[in-house]
A and B are shown apart, each in its own frame.
Chain A
Amino acid sequence: MLFSYNQFHRAAFLGVASEFTGKVNTQVDKLDDYFHQSEENKRVHRMNDSLLNLLKANFSYPDTAQKIVTDSLKLDTIITVRRYVWRDAKVVYNTVNAEQNYLQINRGSNYGIKDDMAVLSSDGAVVGVVVNVSPNFSEVMSLLHVQSSVSAAHQKTGNLGKVEWDGKDPRTVLLKGISRSVEVKVGDSVVTSRYSYNFPPNYLIGTVAQITNDPATGFYLLKVKTATNFTGIQQVFVVENLQREEQLQLSKDTEKKMEKQKNKQR
């Protein structure tokens, strides 16, 4: 379709639309909030709980020889490289009934939101990816979108796969590409992979609900119960990978370079 495939038309169509609908949706959402407030409170409290448990004060060390090391990526001993920036946002419109579901959030390019940023829910579960921004609002392609494809991993074994949606049930998504030699059990966690350009690693996508074999390939077809409750979603985080451009550029350059070398050898 014209708008789906033509970047210029899509941007023009969506820019006008989302500024207008965003304002209406924000007003309606204010009312809607009252019905989901307590559930949201619980989510935030759970998140706080998990963060409090990480505080250094919770741990004691048996001897003084042990040293606490903050495990983050270092450029040298002074500069810590920051990889992800988190921004808060509020969902103003959301559907689950369509085959292509989008969320609208109340932050846009004025707030630093850009395309392809990751969106996580208030308890750190995967929601989707930003696909379009206007000055004050952005549209997020939810996991429940038949074109969505998120790089994922089986947490226990670290095997990589892809999370997609078949458009059927908004409570479950599909994890594809996990080899049948891997031992998978119902209830195993599926998390974002270490190699994703958008998502920070090890954030929960869901838990395995049903295991079937894909007869066409040597892979499992795993039904994954989403960790995010898409019907009651309110507050989200938009996560920016500051090294994304660099990573993409590098892989593109590498391809070019290898292509040149191939020609050289001939």
Chain B
Amino acid sequence: MSDLVKNILRLILFLTVQVFVLNKIPFLHQFIVPYLYFLFILWLPFSISSFGLLVIGFLTGLLLDYFTWTPGLHTAACLLVAYARPFVISLLIPKDNEEFNYREPSPRALGWAPYTVYAFVLTLFHHTYLTLLQWLQFGSFLQFLIKIAATTAISMLLIFTTELLFPRKVKYRTNTA
């Protein structure tokens, strides 16, 4: 399967899970709002240019906004994640490493510790920006901080669960691709 087809299917799957499963889970607590769909952006191949990332991030966020009826909140947060991704990756990947030839970020490609940092930083960016935009309309400052912490923790839990349940095959960059 080509990267394009695979990622389109992934996008549909992530959005379906977010809109029809995670958004609809029975109410547990006001701070428990699970988000997972932005993992799609984290899983995109290394080869995509930073402008391409922004376009994909915009579309991902916009589609979710259409479903959740939020006026551009997710679009904004996804754009931030897509923008920050190359910088975080360049910090975590050893430079001048000839042997590094993985196609997309995964725990096996980066190693568990750097991957955790990668996922955590981008998750934190996403949730902070999303919660900030919501908080501007409603809520107290303490609520804002607790909500960032709680949603980030839950998202990290979901990301690890996803990584452990669906380990992706390690794909190497080849000359033919």
Contact = CB atoms under 8 A, between A and B. Distances in A.
A2 B138 contact: no
Contacts of B65: 17
Contact of B67 (A3, A93, A100): A93
B133 interface: yes
Contact of B66 (A1, A21, A96, A171): A21
Interface residues of A, number: 31
Given A4-B137, A146-B138, A139 B69 contact: yes
Nearest 6 A/B pairs, CB to CB:
A3-B71, A17-B66, A102-B69, A168-B30, A146-B138, A170-B27
A231 interface: yes
A171 B69 contact: no
A95 B26 contact: no
B71 A97 contact: no
B133 A171 contact: no
Given A1-B71, A13-B71, A231-B26, A99 B138 contact: yes
B72 interface: yes
Main secondary structure of the interface of B (DSSP, over half): loop
A11 to B, nearest CB: 12
B71 A169 contact: no
A98 B68 contact: yes
A2 B71 contact: yes
Nearest to B73: A1
B111 interface: no
Interface residues of B, number: 24
B71 A10 contact: yes
B30 A3 contact: no
A28 interface: yes
A20 interface: yes
Interface string B24-61: 11110010110000000000000000000000000000
7 contacts: A1-B137, A2-B72, A3-B72, A21-B67, A102-B69, A104-B69, A168-B30
Contacts of B26: 231
B68 A95 contact: yes
A135 interface: no
A201 interface: no
A137 to B, nearest CB: 11
